């Protein structure tokens, strides 16, 4: 544990690690206070593309936790950054929520429903047959297919709901084209996070509750890995994977010695 506490930077998943629904998880306040007190660099990183960093900040504030907006990074921001470097000034047909639209707009990507360069899909409750048809036709006409993340399902206040990959799947199946996914476990998002923190991978730890996104992303990016049991993965389920986290904790409060 002392080796973990000596790390300079921490990249933390959010849902299942920091909160569940609209409830802050035990030990989180103490963990964040410890991060600030010890002058650690930290980033709350989420695959969910629907919300902006400001909205995530406000959500935590509503739960009684104050964290500066610069400590949040989403797959929407990662997708916008990726496209702005790959194809500056490109256009896209977008299926997603305002967090994704805002990120793309700020990166200078043009929304285009006629002849887009890309079709980009993220989480949204506004998903229907017309969306699938338009996306399918654009991809068949040559648009490249991008998914903000590979999550098949995600948590909500009403239980599990379809996430990004479930929304991309009909377009992949009908066109025969595989999407490129930007978010975790793609190391691209992790490397950007490390650059934002200003630390080397050897000096940082990835903390998450999912083996198939958080832990594998940390392993493939060279970070120390910490699985917390406060989210979706149980201790028994860890045995199903060919890789393991270095440390397993009940929650992030254990890091601060709560």
Q: How far apart are CA 109 and CA 102, in angstroms?
A: 10
Let me know whether 191 and 176 are in one domain. Answer: no
157 part of the active site:
no
Percent of the chain with pLDDT over 70: 97
Chain-centroid distance, C-alpha 108: 21
Q: Which domain-ending residue is among 148, 181, 214? A: 181
Q: Is residue 71 part of a domain?
A: no
**Rg of the chain over CA atoms, in angstroms?**
18
Burial class of residue 22, CB neighbours in 10 A (0-12, 13-18, 19+) = exposed
Chain-centroid distance, C-alpha 146: 15
Q: Is residue 212 part of a domain?
A: yes
Closest CA relative to residue 36, chosen from 66, 76, 78, 4: 66
| pLDDT tens, position by position, 136-153 | 999 999 999 999 999 998
Let me know whether 29 and 17 are in one domain. Answer: yes
Query: Could you give the 3-state DSSP secondary structure of residue 19?
Result: strand
| pLDDT tens, position by position, 198-214 | 999 999 999 999 999 99
Q: Is residue 56 part of a domain?
A: no
Q: Catalytic one among 13, 97, 224, 254?
A: 13
User: Which residue bears the tokens 């599990």?
Assistant: 160
30 confidence band (pLDDT: 50, 70, 90) = very high
Q: Is 50 exceeded by the pLDDT of residue 258?
A: no
Let me know whether 95 and 171 are in one domain. Answer: yes
b/e per residue 166-187 (b: at least 16 CB within 10 A): ebbbbbbeebebebebbbbbbb
Q: Which domain-ending residue is among 153, 181, 209? A: 181
Q: Is residue 80 part of a domain?
A: no
Q: Is residue 94 part of a domain?
A: yes
Q: Is 80 exceeded by the pLDDT of residue 159?
A: no
CATH number at residue 197: 3.40.50.1000
Q: How far apart are CA 47 and CA 75, in angstroms?
A: 5
- Domain range for 205: 2-47+184-254
130 part of the active site:
no
Instruction: Average the pLDDT over 21-42 and give the result.
Output: 94
Q: How far apart are CA 243 and CA 253, in angstroms?
A: 24
Let me know whether 93 and 162 are in one domain. Answer: yes
Q: Is residue 66 part of a domain?
A: no
Q: Which domain-ending residue is among 181, 201, 230? A: 181
Q: Count the neighbouring beta carbons within 10 Å of the beta carbon of residue 56.
A: 23
User: Which residue bears the tokens 């479930």?
Assistant: 166
Let me know whether 191 and 215 are in one domain. Answer: yes
130 confidence band (pLDDT: 50, 70, 90) = very high
Burial class of residue 246, CB neighbours in 10 A (0-12, 13-18, 19+) = middle
Domain count, the chain: 2
Q: Is residue 75 part of a domain?
A: no
Q: Is residue 52 part of a domain?
A: no
Half-sphere exposure of residue 165: CA atoms within 13 angstroms, side-chain side: 15
Q: Which helix (H) or strand (E) holds 140?
A: helix 129-140
| pLDDT tens, position by position, 163-173 | 999 999 999 99
């Amino acid at each position: 544990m002392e080796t973990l506490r000596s790390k300079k930077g921490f990249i933390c998943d959010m849902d299942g690690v920091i909160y569940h629904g609209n409830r802050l998880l035990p030990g989180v306040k103490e963990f964040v206070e410890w991060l600030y007190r010890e002058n650690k660099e930290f980033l709350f990183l989420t695959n969910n593309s629907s919300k902006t960093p400001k909205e995530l900040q406000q959500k935590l504030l509503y739960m009684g936790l104050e964290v500066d907006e610069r400590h949040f990074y989403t797959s929407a921001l990662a997708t916008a950054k990726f496209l702005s470097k790959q194809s500056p000034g490109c256009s896209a047909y977008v299926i997603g929520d305002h967090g994704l639209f805002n990120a793309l707009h700020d990166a200078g990507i043009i929304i285009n429903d006629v002849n887009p360069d890309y079709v980009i899909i993220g989480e949204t409750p506004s998903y229907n047959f017309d969306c699938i048809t338009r996306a399918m036709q654009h991809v068949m006409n040559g648009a490249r297919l991008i998914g903000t993340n590979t999550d098949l399902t995600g948590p909500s206040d009403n239980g599990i709901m379809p996430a990004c990959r479930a929304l991309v799947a009909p377009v992949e199946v009908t066109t025969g084209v595989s999407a490129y996914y930007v978010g975790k476990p793609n190391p691209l998002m992790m490397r950007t996070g490390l650059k934002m923190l200003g630390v080397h991978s050897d000096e940082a730890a990835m903390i998450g509750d999912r083996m198939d996104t958080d832990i594998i992303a940390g392993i493939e990016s060279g970070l120390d890995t910490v699985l917390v049991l406060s989210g979706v993965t149980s201790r028994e389920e860890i045995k199903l994977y060919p890789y393991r986290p270095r440390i397993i904790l009940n929650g992030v409060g254990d890091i601060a010695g709560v």
